[in-house]
A and B are shown apart, each in its own frame.
Chain A
Amino acid sequence: MLTLEAVGRQFGPLWAVQDVSFTVRRGEIVGIIGPNGAGKSTLFNLIAGAVAPSAGDIRFLDHRITGAKPYHVARLGLARTFQIPKPFKQLSVHENVMLSALRRHRTPHRSNPVTARTMELVGIAHVADQLAANLTVGLLKKLEMARALATEPSLLLLDEVMAGLTPSEITEMMTVIESLPQHGTTVLWVEHVMRAIMTVAQRLVVLHRGRIIAEGSPAEVSANAAVIKAYLGESYVHATR
Chain B
Amino acid sequence: MVTLPGPTTRINVMSFSAAPRRGALSVIELLVLAACIAAAAIVTNRHAADVMIQTFLWGGLALAWNIAGGYTGLISFGHAAFFGIGAYTSTILLLRYGISPWIGLAAGALMAASAGALLTTVCARLRGPFFILSTLAMGEVTRITALNGQSLTGGAEGLEIAPVASVANMVFIGKAPYLALILVYTLTLYALSVWIERSRYGFYLFATRDDDDAAAAIGINPIAMRISAMTLSAALTAIGGTLFAQYFLYLDPTHIISPDISFKFALICAVGGLGTAIGPILGALIIVPASELLRSLLSQSSSGLHLVIYGIIVTVVILYFPSGISGGIARVSSALSRMFVDEKKRT
Contacts and interface: CB of A to CB of B under 8 A. Distances in A.
A184 B3 contact: yes
Contacts of A99: 203-204, 206-207, 218
A141 B195 CA distance: 31
Contacts of B13: 94, 98, 108-109, 111-112
A163 interface: no
B8 A117 contact: yes
A114 B10 CA distance: 10
B200 to A, nearest CB: 5
Contact of B217 (A74, A116, A179): A74
The bracket for how many chain B residues form the interface is 20 to 34
A40 B210 CA distance: 26
Nearest to A128: B11
Given A120-B9, A183-B3, A184-B3, A75 B219 contact: yes
A70 B7 contact: no
Interface string A170-187: 000000000100011100
Contact of B4 (A49, A106, A109, A152): A152
B2 A184 contact: yes
A49 B13 CA distance: 32
Interface residues of A, number: 53
Interface in B174-233: 198-200, 203-204, 206-207, 209-211, 213-222
Contacts of A94: 11, 13
Contacts of A31: none
Interface of B: 1-11, 13-14, 198-200, 203-204, 206-207, 209-211, 213-222, 275
Contact of A80 (B3, B8, B200, B217): B217
B219 A71 contact: yes
Contact of A95 (B203, B213, B221): B203
Nearest to B216: A70
Interface stretch (A2-10, A85-93, A227-235): A85-93
A120 to B, nearest CB: 4
Given A87-B214, A112-B10, A184 B1 contact: yes
Interface in A119-153: 119-121, 125, 128, 147-149, 151-153
A125 B7 CA distance: 11
A36 interface: no
Contacts of B7: 117, 120
A88 B11 contact: no
Given A108-B14, A115-B11, A116-B9, A103 B219 contact: yes
Contacts of A82: 213-214, 217
Contact of A91 (B210, B213, B218): B210
B6 A108 contact: no
A239 B211 CA distance: 42
A25 interface: no
Nearest to A104: B1
A108 B11 CA distance: 10
A37 interface: no
A144 to B, nearest CB: 9
A147 B214 contact: yes
A69 interface: yes
A91 B211 CA distance: 11
A55 to B, nearest CB: 23
Nearest to B73: A90
A18 interface: no
Nearest to A125: B9
B214 A86 contact: yes
A107 interface: yes
B218 A147 contact: yes
B211 A79 contact: no
A79 B220 CA distance: 12
A213 interface: no
A146 B199 CA distance: 21
Contacts of B214: 82, 86-88, 147
A153 B11 contact: no
A66 interface: no
B200 A88 contact: no
Contacts of A128: 11
